[in-house]
Structure 1
Amino acid sequence: MTPDLEQLRALLGAPPRTATPPHWIEHAEAVLGPLPPSYRWWLAEYGSGAVAGAPIATVAPTDHAADSDAVTAVWRRDGNRLCIHLDDGGEHRFALDRPSAEGEWPILRRDPFDGEEDLIADTFAGFLAVHDALARGLRDGPNPTIARLWRTTPGLLRPDGLLLYGPHEIAERNETFEVAQYAPGWTLVGDDSGGRGLLMRHHGRDRHSVYVLDLGALGEDVAEDGDLLTDDLIGWLAAV
């Protein structure tokens, strides 16, 4: 799945006024090869930022390309791993040997004590989404399906108007429509831009099915009152 960069922009907010010079990015790619599209976009639009109080690797002028914060710093490369973020919780690294069809590199966390690696996100955009969700107290998502979606993209707006919420808006949408009051046990995960919501359970066995229901008709039995959209949201999005 391709990350929705406009949803990523909404998550991050307005970019800095000073854009990153394109030739800085081009120099980094001359050293490292083609960068993942969502990371390249972030470099061009934002150029710098931090996660959990620690800076994300960025690009620098040619004469500073070996500086510590630059993604081209020699210490960041370890075989087929490239460190982009380092804090007390571990080292976050691009897995250069696992590119997706879209050219994205997954991000792994290397434990500082035993060296074990865990998958954190499937894309750089997902890396930012996952950490934004954690910072907002949303854990990794309201259920496993949305957590998986956020590991790739911080929400998704399709051409037909169907919108899946990112961590930056899901809480506000659920509060606006008082989902916890009218449909306890359910989470509004998106809408069709036409007054109908996409709802999923956040407890119980079936946390995979997505139901569509008029937002003015929310009730406790969403599965009975709504229409089943899919029981495999990620696969459905990839197929349509």
Structure 2
Amino acid sequence: MRELVETGSAIDAARDGGRSEASIRAVESAVGPLSRSYRWWLTHYGGGTVGGTEIATVVPGPETFTGRLDGERLCFYQEADCGDSYHFALDRRVGEEHAVVRRDHRTGDEEQVAESFAGFLSTREALAAGLGDGPNPTIARLWRSTPGVLLPDGVLVYGPQAIRERNETYEVREYAPHWVLIGDDSGGGGLLMRRRGRDRTSVFRLDLGAIEPDVERAGDRLTDDLIGWLAAR
């Protein structure tokens, strides 16, 4: 998440040193437990903007939350010009994270757009970078939870802040135009998935210096369930 905040184009974090644990706990006594990734954001940055619009924060002395609580919805972001609003769904908690829903400013209809605050930042960065939801449905699903994954064994799955640069570096569109480099193993091997076609769930490992059009033939198939594979390692 730090890499996303520090290098992403859509996010501008404040540099005031963040909020104290005591300040965050004071606000939680009024609105309930905050999501883990949002607490991390508050602790390290305090506040900031996405697309030039403020993310709700904790204002000290006395501690006040600048968003708004509406039943089981805690609004932390609203698009410019009274646009759609984004809320933590307090009744949709998995582990230490709340799902994020977007509320249409005209109809009031809700749609879940991320599984965490980190996922919210990740999806907004993907949109700002011209990546849409992601290069395929599996990566789009991953980014709704987290802006990339780094495992202890060195396996790295890229977030929206890095994926374009890595694909350009290894000229994937030239050598394997129907594929996308979604990560690497920190040992010279790339992880590739199809951009389009029937099978957009399989992940193949292929040396980064040997990328070619027929990745399926040349590479080693690792899994057809990337998210489950990452969780099990």
Which TM bucket (shorter chain)?
over 0.9
Question: 1:84 — aligned with what?
Answer: 76
Does the 8 Å contact 1:27/1:62 carry over to 2?
no
Paired residue for 1:113?
Answer: 106
* Secondary structure of 2:62 counterpart: helix
Equivalent-residue separation in structure 2 for 1:157 and 1:123 (angstroms)? 17
**Distance in structure 1 (CA, Å) of the matches to 2:115 and 2:20:** 27
Q: Does 1:23 align with 2:22?
A: yes
SS in structure 2 opposite 1:228? strand
Alignment deviations for residues 136-194 of structure 1 (CA, whole Å, 9 cap, x no partner): 11111111100110000000100000000011110110000000011111000000000
- Cα distance in 1 for residues equivalent to 2:105 and 2:196: 33
% same residue: 56
Larger % of strand: which? 2
* SS of residue in 2 equivalent to 1:97: strand
Q: CA deviation at 1:35?
A: 1.2
Q: Aligned partners of 1:179, 1:218: CA distance in 2, in Å?
A: 7
* Counterpart code for 1:91: S
* 2:212 matches 1:213: no
Q: Which moved more, 1:88-97 or 1:190-199?
A: 88-97
Would you say the 8 A contact 2:85–2:103 is kept in 1? Answer: yes
Q: Are 1:180 and 2:173 counterparts?
A: yes
Specify every segment of 5 or more residues in structure 1 that has no aligned partner in the other structure, as ranges: 1-7
User: Does residue 23 of structure 2 align to residue 36 of structure 1?
Assistant: no
Look up the match of 2:49.
Answer: 50
Cα offset, 1:64, TM superposition = 5.6
SS at 1:129's partner residue?
A: helix
Secondary structure of 1:63's aligned partner: coil
The match for 1:95 is 89
Output the CA distance in 2 between the equivalents of 1:105 and 1:125: 10
Kindly state the Cα deviation for residue 239 of structure 1 after the two structures are TM-superposed.
Answer: 2.3
41-50 or 29-38: which moved more? Answer: 29-38
Q: In structure 2, what is the Cα distance between the partners aligned to 1:65 and 1:18?
A: 17
User: Who is 1:5 aligned against?
Assistant: none
Q: Give runs of ≥4 in structure 1 deviating > 3 Å.
A: none
Measured after TM superposition, the shift of residue 62 of structure 1 is 4.1
| In 2, Cα distance between equivalents of 1:105 and 1:79 | 14
Q: TM-score, normalised by structure 2?
A: 0.92
Structure 1, residues 170-221: CA drift from partner, whole Å, max 9, x if none?
0110000000011111000000000000000111111111100011111100
> Do the aligned residues in 2 keep the contact of 1:82 with 1:96 (CA within 8 Å)?
yes
Between the aligned partners of 1:21 and 1:38, the Cα distance in structure 2 is 15
Q: Distance in 2 between matches of 1:93 and 1:144?
A: 23
Residue 200 of structure 1 corresponds to which residue in structure 2? Answer: 193
RMSD: 1.4
Q: Give the TM-score, by structure 1 length.
A: 0.90
Letter in 1 for 2:223: T
The amino acid across from 2:161 in the alignment is H
